[in-house]
Amino acid sequence: MVINTNISAQTGARLLGESSAMLSKSLARLSSGSRLVSPEDDAAGLAVSMRFDAQISRVSAAQSNLGNAVSFAHTQDGFLQKVGKALDRMSELSVLSQDVTKTNADRSLYNAEFTKLGAYVTDLATKDFNGVSLFDGTALNVTTDSEGATVATTGMNLGAAAYTGATGATVDTAANAVTALTKVKTAITQLSTDRASVGANISVLNSYNDQLGSLKDNLSSANSRIKDVDVAVESTSLARFNILVQAGTAMLAQANQTPQSTLKLIG
């Protein structure tokens, strides 16, 4: 029996330290909700999880871009609806001005409304969305995924000849009214094509947005399996380590008492 080196106490202290460390880690996992409280917990898993986190953030950014592009397209369609109403009225005025019972003085009254509606359409061609022109005919490349891929949307151009021909026409005479009607009908045909293109833009952008939503869900699920703590399993571990710490503390106290029995031999 020796008193200078207490191997039992040393071993007990070492095991108690290990149990205490595991208890602390289990507490950290449960309090944070993460299985990866430090890199050594799962080095490879941490690397994969970090990449997933970054990709999920990029997917969210792409969804934001798509949402703004859809709002842009809806704004275009809102203005084009107003253009359609203006052109409908202009076509009506063109036919009214061809009435043989009307004089040119009467037609001048129709022409006043016709030209104002034309000016209204011309003004709409200058509108923008957050500083980006709505109707200059430019195709916009919208980000569609986390890697920066884009899709080009069809541009709308209210300055096209089909529109300017109608907005520049007059119905102040019967002959001019006949010409104006042809030009307005051409503008209406162009408008129907443009609104269909806007609808196609919205449809494809929404499809990409839905796709990103599904991708984000799947990435989040995969990331969760790597880094989120299983509360049931970790709670069991917590109870185990808690018991080990208590037992280790008791045994270390017992080991520290052992050398005192040598005093009985000396006495």
Residue 190 CA: distances (Å) to CA of 93, 94, 96, 126, 202: 19, 18, 23, 18, 19
Q: What span, in angstroms and rounded, lies between the C-alpha atoms of 64 and 59?
A: 9
**15's tokens:** 């095991």
Cα distance between the two ends of the chain = 15
Maximum CA pair distance of the chain? 141
CB 76 within 8 A of CB 158: no
In whole angstroms, how far apart are CA 170 and each of 95, 98, 103, 202, 261? 12, 12, 15, 35, 120
pLDDT of residue 165: 96
Q: What is residue 10's three-state secondary structure? A: helix
Who contacts 105 (Cβ-Cβ below 8 Å, separation ≥6)? none
pLDDT given at position 227: 81
Q: Which residues contact 125 (CB under 8 A, 6 or more apart)?
A: 135, 158, 159, 163
CA distances from 168 to 116, 122, 164, 173, 190 (A): 11, 9, 6, 14, 16
* DSSP string for 210-249: HHHHHHHHHHHHHHHHHHB--HHHHHHHHHHHHHHHHHHH
How far is residue 194's CA from residue 200's CA, in Å, rounded to a whole number?
10
Residue 240's pLDDT is what? 82
What is the predicted pLDDT for the residue at 266?
67
Distance of CA 253 to the CA centre of its chain: 59
Give the model confidence (pLDDT) of 210-266 as tens digits: 999 999 999 999 988 888 787 777 788 778 878 877 887 877 777 777 767 766 666
What whole-number distance in Å separates Cα of residue 207 and Cα of residue 224? 26
Residues of the chain with pLDDT under 70: 1-5, 259, 262-267
What is the value of pTM for the model shown? Answer: 0.80
Q: Are the beta carbons of 259 and 6 closer than 8 angstroms?
A: yes
